[in-house]
Structure formats: C-alpha cells, structure tokens
Chain A
Amino acid sequence: MSTGLSSLSKLSEVSTLYPFAGIEYLLVAVLFAYLIIFFVWQSAMEHKHIKSIMGAHETADTAPPESAMAAAE
C-alpha cells in the first residue's frame, strides 16, 4: 500500500511528491467550495454582529453603556 511516493531509487523519474496524485480536480472543487462557504459564513457572522450593535444602540437610548457607568463609579 502506498498513497503516492514508494521509492527513491530513481530520482530522475520522481515527479509529484504529494499523496493521491490524480485527484487534483477534486481538490480544486473542494477549494472552491471552501471559499464559498467562507464568504457565506463571514457574511452571516457580520450580519449578526451588526444586528447586535444595532440592538445595543437602541438600548443605549434609554440607558448609558456599561463602560460609561463604570467610569462614573
């Protein structure tokens, strides 16, 4: 069993060093999906973050922020 490199006796014949050579198209598809997932996840994360700030801002209309209270004490 070998996932790729099995002998170094003829160095001039060695090319790819990474395991499972031949699945490059699949790896590229994984990379593409990885990038798309990142964009979607990041966008949702930022949306949630902004919503939380908006919520805090509305609360701030009636109550001062915690940091201001701490400073006042």
Chain B
Amino acid sequence: MDNETTAMTTLFTEYYYFTTVVLMFFIHLGFCMYEVGVSRTKNVQHTLLKNTMAIPTIGLAFLLFGMWLYIALQAWPVGSTSVSLETGFEPWSPTLAPNLTDHISGVFLAAFALFAMTAGSIVSGSIIERAKTSGFLIIAVYVGAVAWVIPAAWGWAGNGWMVQYLGFHDQYCSAVLHAPAGFAALGVLMALGPRIGKFGPNGEPREIPQHNPWMVTLGIFMIYIGFFGFYAACHVPIVNVAAEGATPYFTTTNIYGVPITLSGVLLNFLFALFGGMISGYLISGGNSFWTYSGGLCGLVSASAGNDYYHPIMALIIASAGTMMAYKLHNFVERRFKIDDAVGAVAVHGYCGVFGGIVAGFMLWGYPSILPSPGMAIELSQGAGWFGTNADGVPVINPIGNIIATLVFALGFGLIPGYILGKLLKGAGMLRVPAPVELKGLDGATGELNYPAISGTEAAFETITRTEAKY
C-alpha cells in the first residue's frame, strides 16, 4: 500500500472484521451453554458435541463452496445468466491465504463463515435429545453453506438481483439468515417428530424440565454479546462512496453501500433488545426462558431495518414481533405437535419473516442501494421493478420485501428442511432409536456428566475409603 488513505482504510477494515469474528464466537459459546442447559442430564454431552461440531464442519464447507456461492450468484439468474469461477473466493484462490496483496478476503470470509455457523446452530437446538449428530451435520452444512447463502447473494449485497430488481432490504439478516434457518428447523422438526413424553395422551404439551436454567440464562447473555459482533460484521466500516472524480465521501455503510452510522445502529440494537426482553417477560407471565429468548426475538424482529429505524421504532417493532412469536410458538406446538426444544423456530423463523415484511413497509421509498466505485456497486439494466426514485435507483417497497422473505423462508428453509429431514430419516440418520432416547444419548458416559447425581462420585469415594482403610 503506497498511500496513507488506502493503508488506513484497508488496515482498519481488516482489523474491524477480525474483531467481529472474535465477538461472533460468543454466539457459539452461548448456543452451547443454552442447549446444554435445556437438555436433561442424560443428554448433556451429546447436545454439547452436536452443536460444537457444527462449527468446524460448516466452517470447512463454507470455505469449500459457501463463500463462492455468495459472490458468484449475486446477479444470477436475473441480472446475469453467467456464473464466474474467478471471483477470488474459490477455495483455491491464493488471496484466501497469507498474501501481502490482499488484507481483506480472509477476514471477510471468516466473518461470513461465522454467520454460516450461526445459521446451522439455529437448527441444532430445536432438535436436541433425539436427533443423531450425523444427520444434523448434513443439515447444518445445507443451512450454513447454502440455505442462507443464496438468499444473501440475492438480497444482501448491493449487486444482488433481488436488491436491485425487487428493492429488497434486510440489513441485519432477519429474512436472509434467520428466516431460512428457523424455517429449515421447522421442516426438520416435522420430519423428526417430538421427544418421547413431550405430549400427553390427549395431545397436551408438557414442559420438559431444563436441567440447568442458569446455564440457559448465561448462554443467552453470551448470544446477546455475540450479536453485537454479528451486527458490526454487517457493515463496511470505512469506504469512499463518492462518484468517480467527485469530492471523496468517507463513511461507514450498510451492506448495500448506503451511508449509515454505527452510533445510530448501536442504539437501535439496544432498544430492540430491550423491547424483546420486556415484551417477552410480560407476555410469558415472567417466564425466564421466554424473557431471555424475547431479547433475541426483539433483535431478529427489528434487524431487517435496524440501520434506519428510530430507536423507539425498533423498540415497538421488537415488542410486537416478540409477542407474535410467543403466541405463534404455543399455537403451533399445541395444534401441530411440533416439539421445538429451544423455541428456535419462533425466535428465528417467525421473527425473521416478521422483520423482513415490516421493513418493507417501514422503509417504503428508501433507495435500496447507492451505486459507487468505492463499493463496486453498479446499477443493473432494468432494475427497480416495483419503483425507482428520481435518480433511477430502485426503492425499498413492501411487495419486494414480502416476495423475497417468503421465498427465503419457504423455498430455502421449510421445504428443503422437510425434504432433507425425510430423506435422512428414511436413511436412518436422523433419529435415535426409542430405547436410546429413554436411556439417554450419552449412554454410559452420561454417568460422568454429574457424578454427584449419578452416584459415580459416591461409588469412587467408597472405593478410596475402603482402600485407605479409613
């Protein structure tokens, strides 16, 4: 780098994404604690390792093809019918390894890989205590490296065809990531079936006791922390968005190249979290599980437009989304006998769809992109099917957001999730046999999860006292 401006923007961007990756790892720490806390003592290790192994598995799959899908498919099939194999994000690209000519590709891919792991982990919690790890990991690769990646290519990039032609907007991935992951979980749950004992003889749902509600609490707090990193990684931290030859305009932008402020976004994040927590607390009658999950519901509900909303709007949207998700979760559980152990479908699926649709109404008429050489965003021919502004730039609108959100939730989430679940179940790779579920998925090692409860600690104590003749 031979000039100060390039060096400053490049190195700051590199460091910025590096930090977001570290922060986003807290999401996985949180998911692991949360799921382990919800599971019963006989399933602790299986629950922990099922989720944990999604991290490297999705990460490797994302390097192999996920990131390439995101870059290569942005205009395909509407803006362009060709798909490039020279994006710089093919797994064999020399810029993905230590390379002095490229400071960004590696951290950019890593941040995306963390999004991918989050998407896959969303399914993990809902199917605990009866799903096989082998089947889950295949589902996780689909959800993490395909199901949200193609929606992101189309709807979460300045050159994405849905952004340009439909005027779609979803800055923090309500519809792009949470909706397909949450609805994929629903599809898998439909194929998987409930845990033994979840529903009574008359179909009434039973509360399966969490083995450690305090671990659940801390886990969701960790996820909150990770979400700060998730939000931060959705920005371009510093870039010149001025037209070629014009006076430079350095700014932080959203994923569509439009200037925003981290200052405003941070307040929206907090207010959405507050709205979710408060409404979750109230609607559930003070249930701790739903109070904490409510915080996530609030964030996901407001995320699609949280780059533009007023903080109090974020609070209201988050509150409404959380209440809707709570009611819908209980209705679906009772009516369709869906056993979602952690409420993932509600938090991510229902709130993701809610957030995507609401943003289309709230931000109606906003320019969906800012074409600029700095962001390498170009306006496509014929863009703006549902309206353009006076500058000819496509605008955000409810129809575009509704269409895209439903395509993502159903076309990439529910339907493939159900088909994949059915195929894996048919192959004997999805559900453990009933005796294993009753005995516990940890088997003999389960006795070591809590030795004081299982009696192994007392047994060993007896041996040592006998041998010591004490």
Is the beta-carbon distance between B443 and A53 smaller than 8 angstroms? yes
B92 touches A27 (CB 8 A): yes
Q: Please tell me the number of chain A residues within 8 Å of chain B, measured between CB atoms.
A: 35
Q: How far is the CA of A60 from the CA of B432 in the complex (A)?
A: 18
Cα-based distance from A71 to B99 in the complex (angstroms): 61
Give chain A residues whose Cβ lies under 8 Å from the Cβ of B60: 31, 34-35
Interface contact A50-B433, CB-CB below 8 Å: yes
A36-50 vs B, CB cutoff 8 Å, 1 = contact: the mask equals: 001100110010011
Q: Which residues of B from 57 to 97 have beta carbons under 8 Å from A? A: 57, 60-61, 63-64, 91-94, 97
A56: which B residues are within 8 A, CB to CB? 439, 443-444
Contact B98 A16 (CB under 8 A): yes
User: Interface residues of A: mostly helix, strand, loop or mixed?
Assistant: helix
User: Given the complex, which residues of B lie within 8 Å of A34, measured CB to CB?
Assistant: 60
Q: Does B100 contact A (CB under 8 A)?
A: yes
Q: Are B459 and A70 in contact (CB under 8 A)?
A: yes
Closest chain B residue, CB of each to CB of A26:
B92
A-binding segment of B108-116, B130-138, B154-162, B233-241: B130-138
Q: Does A28 contact B (CB under 8 A)?
A: yes
Of residues 1 to 51 in A, which have CB atoms within 8 Å of B's CB atoms?
11-12, 14-18, 21, 24-25, 27-28, 31-32, 34-35, 38-39, 42-43, 46, 49-50
Contact partner, A70, options B2, B101, B137, B458, Cβ 8 Å = B458
B174 to nearest A CB, angstroms? 31
B429 on the interface (CB 8 Å rule)? yes
Q: Inside 8 A of A54's CB, which chain B residues have their CB?
A: 433, 435-436
B261 is an interface residue with CB less than 8 A from chain A: no
For B56, the closest partner residue in chain A by CB is A38
A28 touches B97 (CB 8 A): no
Which chain A residues numbered 48 to 73 have a C-beta less than 8 Å away from chain B?
A: 49-50, 52-54, 56-57, 60, 66-68, 70-71, 73
A35 to B66, CA, bound (A): 14
Residues in A neighbouring B435, C-beta threshold 8 A: 53-54, 57
Contact with A along B432-470 (1 / 0, CB 8 A): 110110111101100100000011101100100000000
| Residues 267-317 of B contacting A (Cβ, < 8 Å) | none
Give chain A residues whose Cβ lies under 8 Å from the Cβ of B242.
none
Report the interface size for chain B: residues with CB under 8 A from the other chain.
39
**A50 CA to B131 CA in the complex, in Å?**
12
> With a CB–CB cut-off of 8 A, which chain A residues contact B455?
67-68, 70-71
Query: In the complex, are the beta carbons of A28 and B436 less than 8 A apart?
Result: no
Closest residue of chain B to A60, judged by CB? B439
Q: Which residues of A contact B215 (CB under 8 A)?
A: none
B134 touches A53 (CB 8 A): no
Chain B residue with Cβ nearest A61: B435
Chain A proximity of B281: nearest CB distance (Å) = 39
Checking A16, A32, A68 against B97 with a beta-carbon cut-off of 8 angstroms, the contacting residue is A16
Q: A67 near B91 (CB under 8 angstroms)?
A: no
In-complex Cβ contact of A15 among B61, B99, B138 (8 A): B99
Quick one: closest A residue to B2, CB to CB?
Answer: A12
Contact of A39 among B94, B97, B137 (CB under 8 A): B137
Query: Given the complex, which residues of B lie within 8 Å of A53, measured CB to CB?
Result: 435-436, 439-441, 443-444
Of A12, A35, A50, the residue contacting B436 (CB under 8 A) is A50
Q: Are B92 and A24 in contact (CB under 8 A)?
A: yes
Provide the residues of chain A in CB contact with B456, threshold 8 Å: 67, 70
Interface residues of A (CB under 8 A from B): 11-12, 14-18, 21, 24-25, 27-28, 31-32, 34-35, 38-39, 42-43, 46, 49-50, 52-54, 56-57, 60, 66-68, 70-71, 73
Q: Beyond A24-B91, A46-B133, A73-B462: 18 further Cβ-contacts under 8 Å? A: A15-B99, A15-B100, A16-B99, A17-B98, A24-B92, A24-B93, A31-B64, A32-B64, A35-B64, A39-B138, A46-B134, A53-B443, A54-B433, A57-B439, A67-B459, A70-B455, A70-B458, A71-B455
Taking Cβ atoms with an 8 Å cutoff, the residues of B that contact A are 2, 53, 57, 60-61, 63-64, 91-94, 97-101, 132-134, 137-138, 429, 432-433, 435-436, 438-441, 443-444, 447, 454-456, 458-459, 462
Q: Jot down 6 A-B pairs with beta carbons below 8 A, ordered by A.
A: A16-B99, A18-B97, A25-B92, A50-B433, A56-B444, A68-B455
